[in-house]
């Protein structure tokens, strides 16, 4: 059963993550390519893996706040998908393909680096 505390933690983390994503969108020029979405997805992939491996003893509440709430609202698969479809239907097929390759490839790299950095920090 979901508790009111769990709902509050996810909502609070989600509010912070959404505001952070919005803020990056205001400062990163995405007029030619969806750089803001790309940026938040790489940062989020790194942070998710880093936190997971650096701080292995987190409580359920902390995980709900950070992973489900904050990072879940910060990163955005739906915006990435919409950006890609928009590029494709605007005739920017190569940019749509590049968006898929860069997001998929570099988010995996970001998560891998985050994992190794987290393991390193945890072992210190």
Q: Phi-psi category of 91—alpha, beta or left, where left has phi over 0 and alpha has psi -120 to 50?
A: left
Does 29 map to a domain?
no
Residue 112 belongs to what domain range? 11-21+34-123
Distance between CA 120 and CA 110 in Å, rounded? 15
3-state secondary structure of 51: helix
Does 2 map to a domain?
no
Does 6 map to a domain?
no
Number of separate domains in the chain: 1
Does 4 map to a domain?
no
Does 54 map to a domain?
yes
- Compute how many other C-beta atoms are within 10 angstroms of the C-beta atom of residue 55: 14
Q: Phi-psi category of 3—alpha, beta or left, where left has phi over 0 and alpha has psi -120 to 50?
A: beta
Distance between CA 48 and CA 99 in Å, rounded? 21
Per-residue pLDDT of the chain (124 residues; tens, 9 = 90+): 999 999 999 999 999 999 999 999 999 999 999 999 999 999 999 999 999 899 989 999 999 999 999 999 999 887 889 899 999 999 999 999 999 999 999 999 999 999 999 999 999 7
Q: Which pLDDT does position 78 carry in this prediction?
A: 78
Q: Which pLDDT does position 26 carry in this prediction?
A: 96
Residue 56 has what DSSP assignment? T
Does 17 map to a domain?
yes
Q: Which pLDDT does position 65 carry in this prediction?
A: 98
Does 27 map to a domain?
no
Does 28 map to a domain?
no
């Amino acid at each position: 059963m979901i508790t009111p505390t769990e709902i509050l933690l996810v909502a609070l983390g989600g509010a912070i993550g959404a505001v952070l994503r919005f803020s990056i969108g205001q400062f990163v020029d995405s007029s030619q390519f969806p750089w803001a979405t790309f940026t938040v997805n790489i940062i989020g992939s790194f942070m998710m893996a880093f936190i997971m491996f650096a701080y292995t003893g987190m409580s359920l509440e902390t995980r709900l706040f950070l992973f489900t709430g904050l990072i879940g609202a910060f990163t955005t698969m739906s915006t990435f998908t919409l950006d890609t479809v928009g590029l494709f239907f605007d005739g920017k097929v190569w940019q749509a393909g590049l968006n898929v390759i860069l997001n998929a490839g570099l988010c995996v790299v970001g998560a891998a680096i985050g994992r190794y950095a987290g393991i390193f920090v945890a072992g210190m």
